[in-house]
Amino acid sequence: LSRLPDGPSVVLDAGSALNHRPILIHPKLRDKKLFIATLAPERHAYTQLGVSYVYEDLRQTCFRESMFDIVACISTLEHVGLDNTFMYTNDPQKNEANPGGYLPLIDVMQSRLKKNGKLFVSVPFGKRKNHGWFQVFDGAMLDEVIARFSPSTFQETIFMYRDDRWAIATRNEAKEATCFDINTEKVYPSDYCAFSRSVACLE
């Protein structure tokens, strides 16, 4: 939210990370036309706040090209091409095993942005691992995302959880970071890290 420009714009939430009332009523979103695209309906929909919902695989999106000023793909890219029936949909066609399946989505998001538009991406970062329903990105995968999108400029920030707090880190410091998956690992690590020990954020 701190990265969003003030004033009106057309925004796509690619993956429905923003679909929570405290976020949707934030002043930074007040003047923005927000579209949320996700695989299947969720428990809450905030149409009374002017949010538009589309249920689809964004790799075959219905949105026209050059439609959005901003695309936010938060905690989503790591699921694309993998088993989304585990958590997000009952559609058996979304039980995939294609770790590179997220790359076509980069092309779609790039083409749906207006000239000089902005893409925001966050993914779990560290030691590459495919957990079946999500994957941890390493430096080579980040480089591939950036090259595929081919931005005029970009910023990368790595956050890492250590010593009971989050702090900015380098790729090298976070390169061995892991994810705790409560769905398959029933014993928390000693510091109770809830999920990803490192997150990469791209703008």
Q: pTM value?
A: 0.94
Residues 6+ apart with CB under 8 A from 111: 65, 66
Measured distance CA(13)–CA(100) in Å, rounded: 21
Tokens of 18: 């923003």
Give me the amino acid identity at 19: N
Tokens of 160: 């890492």
CB atoms within 10 A of CB 107: 12
Maximum Cα interatomic distance, the chain, rounded to a whole number of Å: 48
Residue 21: φ, ψ to 5°: -55, -45
- Per residue in 71-105, pLDDT (tens digit) is 999 999 999 999 989 888 888 888 989 999 999 99
- Per residue in 97-129, pLDDT (tens digit) is 999 999 999 999 999 999 999 999 999 999 999
Token pair 């000089």 is found at 116
DSSP structure class, residue 179: B
Classify residue 78 as left (phi > 0), alpha (psi -120 to 50) or beta.
alpha
